[in-house]
Amino acid sequence: MSIALSLGNNLTTNGVFKPAAVNNTSVNNVTDFASVPAGGALFLLSTQTASASASISFTSGIDSTYDSYVFKFIDINPSVDGNFTFQGSTDGGSTYGVTLTSTFFRSQHNEDDSATSFVYRTGEDLAQSTSFQPLITDIGSDTDESVVGTLQLFNPSSTTFVKHFIARTQDYVGPTPISREQYVAGYFNTTSAIDAIKFQPASGTFDGIIKMYGVKKS
């Protein structure tokens, strides 16, 4: 009530608040705020930095605490031109090679506006395979080339459903500069819990940052 009276006393005849109506003590008498829904909020769980690394694995923190997990790729730069891939594990990272099926398509636009394309990539999809799934193809290894993007893994701890994933990445490729956006989606065809994820280039090593977030349950 005192807050309402204070605000009312600081209104002009035109309904505009005077400067005195807003100050650092305006909410001193408030004892409770309505709760704000937290569903969908991201919680940073782990950050790993690759420096001439052959791979990065997340072997802890993937459990039933969250409905889904988001991995963010920041300036991934390989030592050798090629693909950047991932796979899952059901034994805490002791082995990787869960059977999966996926789709893969890509859009691209040359920097000089000479060409564009939007195509399905049959060479990068998998059909009931235990291979590592490409997230980005033909990454350039020049010092100014890098990849950014996200991978989201849904309900990995379920023992009822297969485990779906969706990934979207953007990369810059030279020497003919191209902006490329790549989309991957699919599922691990297992009802066992996925409890670890591994990222690696098809060959060589890589630099960059990968962050893992948990998505708050609604």
Plot region of 40 (φ>0 → left; ψ -120 to 50 → alpha; else → beta): left
- Spatial separation of the C-alpha atoms in residues 39 and 34, rounded to whole Å: 15
What confidence score (pLDDT) does residue 174 get?
73
Q: What is the mean pLDDT of residues 184-188?
A: 98
* Most confident region among 4-8, 16-20, 44-48 by mean pLDDT: 44-48
Torsion of CA 76, 81, 86, 87, to 10 degrees: -150
What is the spatial distance between Cα 49 and Cα 45, in angstroms, rounded to a whole number? 14
In percent, the amount of the chain with pLDDT more than 90 equals 73
- Residue 33: which pLDDT band, with cuts at 50, 70 and 90? very low
Average pLDDT, whole number, for the chain? 88
Helices assigned H by DSSP within 34-158: none
Q: Which two tokens stand for residue 103?
A: 């789709």
What whole-number distance in Å separates Cα of residue 88 and Cα of residue 92?
9
Least confident of 1-10, 57-66, 105-114, 125-134: 1-10
Nearest to 210 by CA among 201, 119, 218: 201
pLDDT at 175 over 90: no
Residue 108 confidence (pLDDT) above 90: yes
For 134-167, write each residue's pLDDT tens digit: 999 888 889 889 999 999 999 999 999 999 999 9
β-bridge partners, 139:
82
H or E, element range at 8: helix 2-9
The pLDDT assigned to 14 comes to 58
Q: What domains can you pick out in the chain, each with its CATH number? A: 1-34 (no CATH), 42-215 (2.60.120)
Task: Provide the sign of the torsion angle of the four alpha carbons 61, 66, 67, 72, taken in this order.
Answer: negative
User: Strand, coil or helix: what is 57?
Assistant: strand
Q: Which residue has the tokens 């066992």?
A: 192
Confidence check: pLDDT of 191 > 50: yes
Residues with Cβ within 8 Å of 55's Cβ and at least 6 positions away in sequence, in order, are 198, 199, 200
Helix (H, G, I), strand (E, B), or coil: what is residue 147?
Answer: strand
**Contact indicator for 171, 147 with CB cutoff of 8 Å:** yes
Q: pLDDT for 58-96, tens place per residue? A: 999 999 999 999 999 999 999 999 999 999 999 999 999
- Please name the amino acid found at residue 36: V
**pLDDT at residue 120, as a whole number:** 97
Average pLDDT over residues 19-44: 60
